[in-house]
Structures are given as C-alpha cells and as structure tokens.
Amino acid sequence: MAETVNGIAFALLALASVGGSVATLATRNVVHASFWLLEVMIALAGLFLLLTAEFMAMVQLLVYAGAVSVLLLFVIMLTLRRREDAIRPRDWSWPAAGMAALFGGLILSAVARYTPSNVRMPQVAPDVAGFGKLLFTAWMLPFELASLVLLVALIGAVWWSKEGDD
C-alpha cells in the first residue's frame, strides 16, 4: 500500500471511528463512554497505519489507548463512588448541536471548495528511520521544548491532585 489507500479498510475504520464517537456521546454510562473513546482511538491508530505513519500509530496506541483511557477510568473510579452515579441523565443541547453542525458544515464546504480532488498519493512513503533522523536534527529544539512541557505538566498534575490542607 505504498501509493494507494485501501477503500474497504478506510471505510471500515471510518465507520468504527465515527460510530464509536457517536456512541461515546450517546451512552448514558460514563464508564461505557470511556471504553467507546478507547475504541475510537484504536480505529484512528488504524487510519494512521493506512497513511504509513507507523510511529504515530504506535504512539497513538500507547498514549491515547493506553495511558489516557486508564487515567480516565481512574478519575471516574475516584469521583463516582457508587455504581448508580455512573449512569447520567441525558443532556442533549440544541444550541450546542446547532453550533457543531454549523462548524462542521463550514469545514466540509471549505474542504469541498478548496481541496483539489486530484491529489495523488505520492509514491515515496515516509519511514520510521527518516522520521527519527529528522526528529533529532531539524526538529531538535521543539522536541526538547515538548519534553519541558511534559515535565511542567507532570509537576502541575502532582501539585494539584495532592491532598492539600487549603
């Protein structure tokens, strides 16, 4: 799959991701919602593989499907003490739906208007070795800044979630 994307695989993964994200918002149980989000993230990792971004697919699985969903489940467990608390009343909101539909329609019309439909997938495919080489040469400074951002976020998360006496 160096120069084309398999239509059937794309259709299946697109269906899985859109269906999973609708189910995330449609289910009334918060725990079920976090598992549906996990399914969406796995489907997106599959889409990254279709785009020959193997490293991004692996990171997607590790960070979103692994770390973030476990973190979400931990917070749900810590904040909802009883089983009944996980079942929420449906909160549909017509203004929010209208805003999201307006935004989506705007983006879709922009895609339809400005994307040239004859963009062919280039024959050359990105590879992980080239990715690593570029990450540690051209993107060296942003990479180090990103690690600093993660360090600050780590310290901040520990600071906020510690049992304070304030």
* Residues 1 to 40 in contact with other proteins, rule: CB under 8 A: 4-8, 10, 14, 17-18, 21-22, 24-25, 30, 33-34, 37, 40
Residue among 12, 87, 96, 140 that touches other proteins (CB under 8 A): 96
Q: 136: how many CB neighbours lie within 10 A of its CB?
A: 10
CB contact at 8 A, 33 and 25: yes
What gap in Å lies between CA 136 and CA 145, rounded to an integer? 13
Spatial separation of the C-alpha atoms in residues 135 and 138, rounded to whole Å: 6
Q: Does 141 bind other proteins (CB under 8 A)?
A: no
Which 101-140 positions form the footprint of other proteins (CB under 8 A)? 101, 103-104, 107-108, 111-112, 115, 117, 119-122, 124-126, 130-131, 134-135, 139
Asked if residue 48 binds other proteins (CB under 8 A), the reply is: yes
CB of 61 to other proteins, least distance (A): 12
Three-state secondary-structure class, residue 165: coil
The position carrying tokens 């050359």 is 124
